[in-house]
Each structure stands twice: as C-alpha cells, then as structure tokens.
Amino acid sequence: MAEKKSKVFISYSRKNKAFVRKLNAALDEAGLDAWVDWDGIPLTVDWMAEITNSIVSSDAFLFVMSPDSLGSEYCLKELELALEGNKKIIPVVYYEPAKRQKVHQKLASSNWVFMRPKKEKFKEVLPKLIEAIFTDFDWVSNHTRLSQRAAEWTIKERNASYLLQGSDLDEAEKWMTESTTNQDRHVTPLQAEYIRASRENAIRRQRNFTRTIGLAMAATILLFIASLIQWQRAIANAELAQENALIAAANERIALEQQELAEQNAQRALDNENLAKSQRSAAQALALSELPGQLDTSTLLAIESLNRFESNEAEDVLRNNISKMPIPVAQLQHTDRIWNLTLSSDGQYFISSSADDTACVWTLSGEQKYCVNHADDVTDALTNNDGTLLVTAGRDGFIKFWDFATGTLLSELNLESPILDIDINPQNTMLIAGREDEVVTVISPTLRRVVYDFNFDNGPVTVVRFHPNGEWLSLGTKEGRVRIWKAQTSLLESGPRHEAEVFNLAISSDGKTMVSVSEDSTARIARAETGRETHVLEHPDWVEDVAFSPDNAWFVTVSDDKIVRVFETATGVEKMRMYHSSFVQRVKISPDGGWILTTGYDQTARLWDSHTGALVLEASLDGIGSALLFSQDGKQVIIGDRNGNVTIWDISSLYARIGYVEFDEFINRVRFDPAGNYVLINPDDKFIWQLPYNQITSITQGESGRQVFSTDDLSSLLEISPDSKWIAVSENSEVSRSQGVLFKVETEETFILPHTSDLTSLSFNPTNQFLATTNEDSNEVYIWDVATGAKIKTISFEETVFTAIFNPTDSTLVIGLSDKFVIWDLTTDQQVNMLFHVGRIHLLAFNHNGSLLASASSDGSINIWDMTQSEITNPTYQFRRGSRANALDFNTNKNWLASAGENGFVYLFDLDTGEEVIRIPHGDTVSGVDFSTDGNLLATVSRKTIQFFDVNLLMPISKEDLTQVACSRITRNLTPSEWASFFPQEQYEVLCEGLP
C-alpha cells in the first residue's frame, strides 16, 4: 500500500446507511480516509461548495449502487461532479439495479465490485475493493493534488503566486505526458490550462531576471557618483554636527523630563493592550461556551482573560461554565471502544467491557483492581448478586467466570458463537446469553454450566433482559423481533415486530411495561406480561437507547435525530425533549429519578433535570460517548467513549437540591410562612396551594397539597403578612378588571381590592395593618386597611410608579420610579429621601431588620443600600449580570441576597464581600426565589416546578478562589497549537498548574 493516506468519497442513498457505516469503518481500519455525508446537506449553493470540495480532494469516488441511489437526485449530482473532475469511479453494488432501471453510462462501463448482502462475504470482497482504490495510486494522487492546486488558482482569480514552479512544474508536465500512455488516465481542461499557464509564467520570470541584471550594473555606476557627492557633504555635516552638539546639550534636560512622561505613557499603553487582549479572550470564551464540547476551552480562555485583567465579562463566563461542569475524579484508559459499564452488586466497584479484549474492575475513585482477558471484544460483564463472581462475555464465544475478589479464572464455557448480551436474574439462579447464531443459552451461575439452549431462528439475539420476577425474559434480535420467553420452558410470546434491528429493551421495575427501540426509527410500548403492543412512537431517525424512571411513570429515548425525549409510560405522550448537536447514543437515569444522563456523537455527556428538562451539567469527552453509569448513591457518573476512555465525574453538588414539587400549570410565586409552618404556591390553575413545611422534601406533586382558596382569574403576585394571618394575591384579567385579593386565614374572609390594570407589587407593613399596592401604567400607590379591605390613602406622583415595599421596622414606604426611588413616611405623609438608580426600578427588597435595601432596575443591575447611614448617597455594592431580576430575597443567616434571573439562573451574592458566590442553573426563566424563615432552605420557581435547596449544602465560590475552582473542573491545559491559534506571537503559558 502507498505511504500517503488515500482519500475516498462515498456516495450513497441514506436508505443504505447501515451498510455504509460498516463500509466506512472497514475503510478506516484499512488506512483510507473516507468522506461520508452522514447528516444530509440541503441541495443548495452551500451543498454544492462542500460536496465539490470533498470530491475534488478525494482520490477515488465510490458509488454505492442500489435502486435507491440510482434514483437519487443527490447521488447522481455527486456522480456528475466526480465525472467533471475525472475522478476514478468505483461502483460498489449493494443491491443490483431494478429491472429496466436506467444506469449511468460511466457506471455501466466501469468494473463493478459486488458486496451484496447474503451473496458475497464482505470481508472477502473488501481487499479487492481496497486494491481497486490503490491501483495507479501515484498518478491518481497527483491528479487530486493538481485538481486542488488548479481550483485554488481559479478561486484566487488566477493569481500568479499560486502557479507551479521549479521541480513541481517539471513533474506536472511529465505527469500530463504520462496520461497519454493509459486510456483510463484523463487530464481535465483546467489541469491542462493550469500547467500551461505555469510554464508561461516561468518563461516570463526568466526574462525579467535577465533584464534585472542589466539594471543592477547601471545602478552600480550611479551609486559610485553619488558616493563622491556624499563625501563632500560629509565634510560640511561635520561642521554642522559641532553646532548641533551644543543644541543637544541644551535639549538634554528637556529629554530627561519627557522620559518619565514617556514611561508613564508606555505603561498606560501596555495596560490598554492587556485590557484589549483580555476582552478578546473573554469574548472568545463566551462564544465557545455556547458550543457543544467546548466548555473546557471556554473556561481556559476565561482564566487567561482574568489573569490579564479582571473583568465582569470574564468572571461571568467563568461562573456560568463552573455552574455547568461536574468535577473530574479520574481518567482511565482502555485501548479500544468501551462497550458497557456495570456496577458491582455492592456498588463499590464498576466493570468496564472493551473492544480491546479486556474487562477491568475499578474503584469509584479510579483505582484499577484488575483486568481480565478474552480473545476478542468483551461485549458485557456483570457480577452475581452476592458479589462473589465476575461474569464476562465476548465475541470469542466464551462465557468466563472469575473470582471477583482476586480476578482468578474459575471456569469458562465455549458457546462457539459470538455473545452479544448477557443478564442474570434477581434470584441468582439463571444467567442468560444472547448469541449471534440466533440461540439463547441458559447457564447455571452456581454450577457454571449450560442447562438449556433455545434456537429462536429470528436473527442474532442482540438484547436479553430478565423481568423483575426472574422467570420471564424479553429478547430482541437483529431482524427486529421481540419475544417474551419463560426460561427453560416452551412458553413463548411474541412482542412488537420492528422492521430492523432491535438496539435495546427496557422493562419497568414493576414488570408491567416493556419498551423496545430499533433501527426502524421507532420505540414500541408493550405489555411486558403478554408482549401486546400498545403504542408505536415514531422518531425521524434510529432510536438508539431507552431507560425507565425508578417510579415507572416515564421513560426516555435517545435518537440519531439528536433529540432526547421523555414519554409518559401509560399514554405514550411526549412530556418534553432535550437536544444534543449530533447523534445521541446512550441514556441512563439516576437512582432517585432526578437526573437524566445522555451522550453521543457530539463528544459530550449531558445531565438534565428530569422534572424541567434543564441542562444542569455538561462534561467534555475525548471521543464519541458509548457507555454510561450512575454510582449507587447517584453522586458520581462514569462515562465511556469509543476511543477507550473512561472518566469518573463527581456530581454531588446537585444534591444540595433536597426536594422538588411539580404542578400541571405554570407557577408564579412561592412563599414560606413567616411562622415556619407551611409554604404557599400560586400556579396558573387559579388555586392557592399550601404544603406543610415538614413535608416539602417528600411531596413531589403539588396537587397533593391543600387548596387554601381559589381566584376568579390567573394570579401573579403572592404575599403573606408578617403575623401569617393574611394572604394577599393579585388577579390579572384580560376580560374584566384586575384586582387584589385579601384572604384572612382563620376565618377565610375575603376582600376584593379593585385596580384599573394588572398589579405590579404587594407589601404588608410590619404591624399587619396596611397593604400597599401598585399597578401597571399608574402614577399612584394605594394603601389599604387590612382589617376592612378599604382604601385609606393614595400617594400620587407625576410619573409612573413601578413598585412599593414597606420597611419591616418602621412606618416608611420605599417607592420605585424611573431612575430613582423615594422613601415616604406614612406617618407624616411626606417624602423623606430620594436615591438614584438608572432604569425603571421594578423590584425592591429589605432584609429582616431593614438595615439593607436591594433595588433592581430594568437595565439588569441590582444595587445594595446601607439604610443605617445618616446620609445615603451611593450604593454599598452594585451587581450586574446581564439579566433582568424577577425576584429578590435576603438570607439573614448567611447575609446573602438571592436573585431570580430571566436568563435561567439563580444568583446568590455575599453581602459581606460584595461578590457573587453561587450560580444555580435552571434552564428557563426563574420567576421566584424565597428563603425559609430560619434561613436553611431556598425555594426557587421555574415554569411548573419548585425546587428546594439546603442552603448549607450549596458551595460558595469567592472571586479569589474562582480560577482555582475552574481549574478543578477541567482535565487539561490548552495545547501549544491551540495557544498559537488564540494567541499568535505570544509565549505559551500553563494556565492551570498540575494539568497536562
């Protein structure tokens, strides 16, 4: 084979995708660089450019012939492009043309390579195909190189600098002459014109060189004359230099004074340069943070930016990235693809099965216990229930039994056919093996011998799964059949019938439901006891994997259409979907059902909130994700990829969330009762719901709480009086008048507070006597008597009022306006102060003793004001995170402020240091935040879900520790080539010490 790696373009119909994947993999193993359009590029100018470039750069053009490709507009267009470039055409016959089907003349006249299923053996024909590709390789390779050079010359408007020169030109002319010796060698008109133009250019350059020599001799004579003139001038200049010396002495003093100024300017210029470079790195970091698999590179660029110059932009990117990145625990290595990952029965170890012919046992901290060997791929591995045995299965046809404690081989069984999957029943009495020869083998783990073989005659058995009862099992085959079998008996039920290979099966833990997924782009729900199909869930592309939630209420599918889907088990209705940027291959669900882990071709592993669909963590991989595993406590994930890497990640930070409550409708606000007895919620179902405080970590469905009262229209705002005896809500109406509602908890008495538009704020005074309200497009603040529901005061302004809040310790009311807010004393009915804050002040919040006030503006900024100062002029701190705040609340114990962001984050600010310390991603707009009265819990609202966080389990990160924490989330530094790309002409720097 030639030393240079040959490039091959494969043209095919997407209906033959499975064969082309196999062909592509085989060519890669043979050292060929194959280009395949997996995703399908629209037939546009962009398509033409990309396909043309790929064909021009290829040495051979493989046309996968089938009735589908011969009738494909895409395939025939690709063939025409190859013919225009005089490419070597090699037809590969997958299915013969239909009778009377028209075959392109070039295809008909070329030698066909037959690789038809069930007619030719793929492995025997493959060497002939490779030999055809490499035939006349040197001439073909030069053909490709000259096509690319000629195309580049044309693109560059035939610029002479892109023409051939010297030996390149001589070799090209020799190559063109050689084309006449073989009728299969064809030179394109563009190639011929390119070589001719190169020779003409060479002749012109030779003539120009001769002319240049003559001019140089004339110039030498002129320079001699000029030197005589300069000698005469030198004498005159010597006299002038003496005079200038006197002037220079006089100027020396001035120069010394200017030197200091110049040094200051130089330092200022250096600072400006660093600032510009820092801003550039921050901008690049932000852009990369939005791309799949680029969080580590984005993080390193943000660190570089902060090292140069501290900025809010770089800090914002870094905190955003850290909030999405798990902590790497260990990086482990096989030398080939990871097929499977399995936990030991005690959860203390995991087993990796690999195509490098080994299975390895590891601790959860990444220490290797031992590895065991087969003669071919280890396709699966598991332990028995008491953890004494390790069982491995391989494509070498062997089942091997090992002492789990020592890795000593105890015995082995040769089943004489590649083993594709194994499973063991809960009773530890049967081990099942699915085989490529269409047989299912039952093995006694105790006796370690075969007790039953059953030939299904439905194709290779790709999946075997025991039902929870341990007697029945479900089987999936390469031919698309799903069967339900009572092991070691003749009882056999038919399950769903797929039209192509079954990739996986999942059985609910209650043993009632089964879901199978297939290459036929469907997931099929069936009754696990009978196999009766109940729902067919169509997908646009292959469905690769499926997993059930622990409570069996829902399941997840992943597909080559790049989508992760969550379905209700009972109805097959899709609940939500999440997205990767390429084929999704594997899915796992955490033991508590709170998190969904997926991976695939985009070389990321993504962790999703199973209740909201929000992306909460993303890990970058060094290969296509191929296997996933959760630890027994759900606080670690293990990920394997096709390059043989196994990475362990710590996700324990997610378990600061100790509870969640879901509603069927969108939720507006959540409020802890000041007395600490309950939580109130107002979703869009027109009810106010109450949940007991001591049950909020166990209740998951909000409708299981108590309905306190109902509203006539959708409610928005929700407040509880300081003595917990009154509840105030706002009702927004598009068909009638908006209003406030006052509800007395003890008597269930209700007062209606009419307004002319939707309310924008509600606030009780500290003595529970008054309620202040504001509404949209109004210049007034209304004060209501709580005991009677009567309006007792109106405070008017000459501009729009956006919000109002009572100070919790006195009779003052703070009122938000445009670019300012005022402090109003209700006792004297006078304005006592005015403070300025740019933008519409739409949110105000006090801490419990009134010493701190937070104001939030429409420009996204939050200001903190020290209200104990005798003269307040400027805020103590200002926070800006590029997102409007929807809610604010103080935590007195921690001295934190929580902000609910429209951009899907909850921000926690430390008011002792004036820094952001925690960022919690929610994936969608956060509409509410509230701390419990004791300060131990934080409740957040996003869409239809409330989440409860243990404040003491949240991990604050100070600005000082930000870079160190960021480095702990990644596994590498920038490579020298990456550094040169981002920072040309700058010396390489290690950004994170201790990382490769």
Of 154, 19, 24, 14, whose CA–CA distance to 85 is shortest?
154
Among the ranges given (14-28, 374-388, 677-691), the one the predictor scored with the smallest mean pLDDT: 14-28
Structure tokens given for 190: 């563009």
Q: φ and ψ at 951, to 5 degrees?
A: -60, -35
Of 291, 334, 329, whose CA–CA distance to 642 is shortest?
334
Residue 110 maps to a domain = yes
The single residue listed with the structure tokens 């104001």 is 855
Last residue of a domain, one of 114, 135, 156: 135
Among the ranges given (35-39, 437-441, 854-858, 944-948), the one the predictor scored with the smallest mean pLDDT: 35-39
In angstroms, the CA 311 to CA 241 distance is 53
* Confidence category of residue 731, pLDDT binned at 50, 70, 90: very high
pLDDT at position 160:
72
The 10s digit of each residue's pLDDT in 330-343 is 999 999 999 999 99
- The SS3 of residue 317 is helix
From the number of C-beta atoms within 10 Å of its C-beta (0-12, 13-18, 19+), residue 965 rates as middle
* Confidence category of residue 243, pLDDT binned at 50, 70, 90: low
DSSP 8-class letter at 97: P
Cα torsion angle, 734, 739, 745, 750, sign? negative
pTM of this prediction exceeds 0.75: no
Query: The domain that contains 63 carries what CATH number?
Result: 3.40.50.10140
Of 806, 809, 884, whose CA–CA distance to 841 is shortest?
884
Q: φ and ψ at 881, to 5 degrees?
A: -125, 20
Residue 388 maps to a domain = yes
The 10s digit of each residue's pLDDT in 173-224 is 766 666 666 666 667 777 677 777 777 776 777 676 666 655 655 565 566 5
Residue 360 maps to a domain = yes
Which residues span the domain enclosing 131?
7-135
The order of strands in the sheet holding 389-394 is: 378-383, 389-394, 398-403, 409-414
Of 946, 937, 947, 948, whose CA–CA distance to 893 is shortest?
937
The 10s digit of each residue's pLDDT in 384-411 is 999 999 999 999 999 999 999 999 999 9
- The SS3 of residue 316 is helix
In angstroms, the CA 738 to CA 755 distance is 6
pLDDT at position 293:
86
Residue 63 maps to a domain = yes
Residue 680 maps to a domain = no
Residue 113 maps to a domain = yes
In angstroms, the CA 494 to CA 531 distance is 6
Beta carbons within 8 Å of 393's beta carbon, 6+ residues apart: 378, 379, 380, 381, 399, 400, 419, 421, 422, 433
Kindly give the interhelix angle for 137-155 and 189-289, rounded to the nearest 10 degrees: 70
From the centroid of its chain, how far is CA 768? 49
Residue 341 maps to a domain = yes
What is the mean predicted confidence (pLDDT) over 156-168?
73
Name 461's bridge partners.
477
Kindly give the interhelix angle for 166-178 and 189-289, rounded to the nearest 10 degrees: 120
What string of H, E and C letters represents the secondary structure of 401-426?
A: EEECCCCCEEEEEECCCCEEEEEECC
Last residue of a domain, one of 107, 135, 163: 135
Last residue of a domain, one of 431, 448, 465: 448
Domain count, the chain: 2
- Tell me what the pLDDT averaged over the chain comes to: 89
Residue 41 maps to a domain = yes
Q: Do 370 and 381 contact (CB within 8 A), yes or no?
A: no
The 10s digit of each residue's pLDDT in 224-235 is 566 656 766 766
As a whole-number percent, the residues of the chain with pLDDT over 90 amount to 69
As a whole-number percent, the residues of the chain with pLDDT over 70 amount to 88
Query: The domain that contains 405 carries what CATH number?
Result: 2.40.128.630
* Confidence category of residue 714, pLDDT binned at 50, 70, 90: very high
